[in-house]
DNA sequence: GTCTATAAACAGATAGAC
DNA sequence: GTCTATCTGTTTATAGAC
């Protein structure tokens, strides 16, 4: 029973760098930038404090590297949702399928991806206290995905893709999904569980699916 | 130009306690528990570090006191929404009005209450890293309000108030509201503004209102 | 009750052996 | 590249004057 858990010793020489990033992502996400000490991170990575300065120039350099790693993870996840040269589907029904498909993939990343367990807490802290990492995440990932959803949503409902109403409506759909991740402790507790089961995640997806579908029906009637 | 801004000097002797709590709430919310130093808090409150130990026994005692203060704020805000001996409205229309009324009050607290500027960031940090403060906030405020909304929702749609489906649907409605607060930086930036205007807040409320109404229509048709 | 001064532990950064 | 040892500043907590 050590007081510091050496979770993942860096076996290969060149892997020290990525092991440090992985453990830093975990500890920054868990305790925040100020809460996680460099000694703690180094111990968890199975190396020493000096290696942080050597590889990243210091603690803030390590944090920067974590931001870049997260941005890369997100780029991969969103790259699957946004084919570069895709043609916009024409029919309203196709647009609706496309929208719920994107949100399904987001849900899969948020709840079922092993990477997200590292990335999500880190991102959430960045959102609460935006720094340069937030910049990279926002403009690299959040805005492109949101913009794309706005185009699809406006196509399905007949509104203006860049209107505040469409932007906010799309945010409300993304928001309810993210909340289940952010407020997971409160939600799972209210359900009487310690953590989400696979069934819970399916139920969450169904609820969001219903919400989107309900809202699209109204919007299609109300607009244009 | 001091490096530490003495925001609120404690003039009255007994007010030192509450001034410390107020400034600690602000700094804990802004920088987190580890990020905010006791010297910084004491300076902001116009007093000295030793007074924190004297009044609260130490830094963690001050944090505990902040949690209690937030729970009290929330109890006041939710006390307005939940009259103790209220009779349940009978008609489905009345139930729906009651639901959107509660969410409107939550929105008012989240976006327009001067107290919420202190309380919300603190709560969000607690949600990300639940401790004993989260316990007080959850069982004192979150669960009662959620439970009450579930009863209203189930009444309006004909479902079981304690079913997972109703619980999750209600969370999705609360979640989209909270997200506009949590992700405010991302949202306002996407709207092209530095911060939310009064019009933005009205627009957000309208979007959520539409979502709730759309979902209630579907649920009423689909269930029972 | 409020303050100054200080103690003891801790942080991040760095020098230098290997 | 990796490590130990150490430097310098800051942290919380506390002792004691007033």
Q: What per-residue confidence (pLDDT) applies to A70? A: 93
Taking Cα atoms as reference points, which of B118, B154, B186 lies closest to residue A168? B186
d(CA B17, CA B21): 6
Position A143 pLDDT exceeds 70 = yes
Do residues A78 and A42 lie in contact, with contact meaning Cβ atoms separated by under 8 Å? no
pLDDT in tens, A20-66: 999 999 999 999 999 999 999 999 999 999 999 999 999 999 999 99
Provide long-range contacts, Cβ within 8 A and 24+ apart, for A200-206.
A200/B164, A201/A107, A201/A111, A201/A112, A203/B164, A203/B165, A203/B168, A204/A107, A204/A111, A204/A180, A204/B168, A205/A104, A205/A107
- Write down the pTM of the prediction: 0.90
Taking Cα atoms as reference points, which of B143, B149, B141 lies closest to residue B166? B149
Q: What per-residue confidence (pLDDT) applies to B6? A: 45
Distance of CA A105 to the CA centre of its chain: 11
Distance of CA B56 to the CA centre of its chain: 24
Taking Cα atoms as reference points, which of A134, A98, A166 lies closest to residue B182? A134
Residues of A whose CB is below 8 A from B124: 128
- How distant, in Å, are the alpha carbons of B23, B58, B122 from that of B51? 14, 9, 22
- pLDDT average, residue stretch A80-89: 61
Three-class secondary structure of residue A171 per DSSP = helix
Taking Cα atoms as reference points, which of A54, A59, A65, A14 lies closest to residue A40? A59
Taking Cα atoms as reference points, which of B222, B211, B210, B213 lies closest to residue B165? B222
Straight-line distance from CA A14 to C1' C16, in Å?
23
Q: Which residue has the tokens 């109204």?
A: A218
The two structure tokens encoding residue B153: 């929702």
Confidence band of B170 (pLDDT split at 50, 70, 90): very high
Q: What per-residue confidence (pLDDT) applies to B124? A: 86
d(CA A19, CA A45): 6
Q: What per-residue confidence (pLDDT) applies to A33? A: 96
d(CA A175, CA A111): 15
- pLDDT average, residue stretch B146-166: 95
User: In whole angstroms, how large is the CA radius of gyration of chain B?
Assistant: 20
Residue A90: CB atoms within 10 Å: 9
Determine the residue of chain A that is closest to B150 in CA distance.
A190
The two structure tokens encoding residue A118: 């590292």
d(CA A21, CA B184): 28
Least Cα separation, residue A138 to chain B (angstroms): 7
d(CA A64, CA A67): 5
Q: What per-residue confidence (pLDDT) applies to A60? A: 97
B192 CB and strand C closer than 7 A: no
d(CA A6, CA A43): 6
pLDDT in tens, B140-150: 888 999 999 99
Please count the residues of chain B: 224
d(CA A156, CA A174): 17
| CB-contacted nucleotides of strand D (7 Å) | 1-5, 10-16
Q: What per-residue confidence (pLDDT) applies to A6? A: 46
Position B158 pLDDT exceeds 50 = yes
Reported as type and span, the H/E element at residue A6 is none
The C-alpha angle A213, A111, A121, rounded to 5 degrees, equals 120
d(CA B90, CA B96): 11
d(CA B67, CA B138): 11
Residues in CB range of A114: below 8 A, 6 or more apart: none
d(CA A189, CA A170): 28
pLDDT in tens, A183-201: 999 999 999 999 999 999 9
| CB-contacted nucleotides of strand C (7 Å) | 1-5, 10-16
Residue A35: CB atoms within 10 Å: 16
Residue A82: CB atoms within 10 Å: 12
Do residues B204 and B107 lie in contact, with contact meaning Cβ atoms separated by under 8 Å? yes
A47 CB and strand D closer than 7 A: yes
A21 CB and strand D closer than 7 A: no
C-beta atoms of B186 and A142 within 8 A: yes
Straight-line distance from CA B133 to C1' C7, in Å?
31
Which of A171, A196, A204, A213 would best serve as a mutation to test chain B binding (most B beta carbons within 10 A)?
Answer: A171
Q: What per-residue confidence (pLDDT) applies to B80? A: 61
Straight-line distance from CA A50 to C1' C18, in Å?
15
């Amino acid at each position: 029973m050590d007081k510091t858990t050496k979770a993942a010793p860096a076996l290969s020489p060149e892997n020290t760098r990525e092991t440090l990033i992985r453990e830093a992502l975990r500890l920054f996400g868990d305790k925040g930038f100020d809460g996680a000490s460099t000694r703690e991170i180094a111990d968890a990575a199975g190396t020493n404090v000096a290696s942080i300065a050597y590889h990243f120039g210091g603690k803030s350099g390590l944090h920067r590297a974590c931001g870049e790693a997260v941005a890369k993870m997100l780029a991969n996840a969103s790259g699957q949702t946004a084919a570069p040269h895709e043609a916009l589907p024409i029919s309203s029904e196709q647009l609706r399928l496309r929208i719920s498909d994107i949100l399904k993939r987001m849900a899969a990343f948020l709840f079922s991806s092993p990477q997200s367990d590292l990335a999500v807490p880190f991102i959430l802290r960045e959102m609460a206290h935006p720094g340069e990492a937030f910049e990279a995440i926002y403009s690299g990932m959040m805005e492109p995905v949101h913009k794309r959803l706005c185009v699809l949503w406006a196509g399905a409902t007949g509104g203006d893709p860049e209107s505040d109403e469409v932007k906010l409506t799309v945010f409300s759909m993304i928001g309810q999904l993210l909340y289940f991740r952010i407020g997971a402790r409160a939600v799972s507790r209210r359900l009487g569980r310690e953590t989400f089961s696979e069934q819970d995640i399916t139920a969450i997806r169904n609820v969001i699916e219903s919400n989107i579908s309900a809202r699209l029906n109204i919007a299609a009637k109300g607009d244009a």
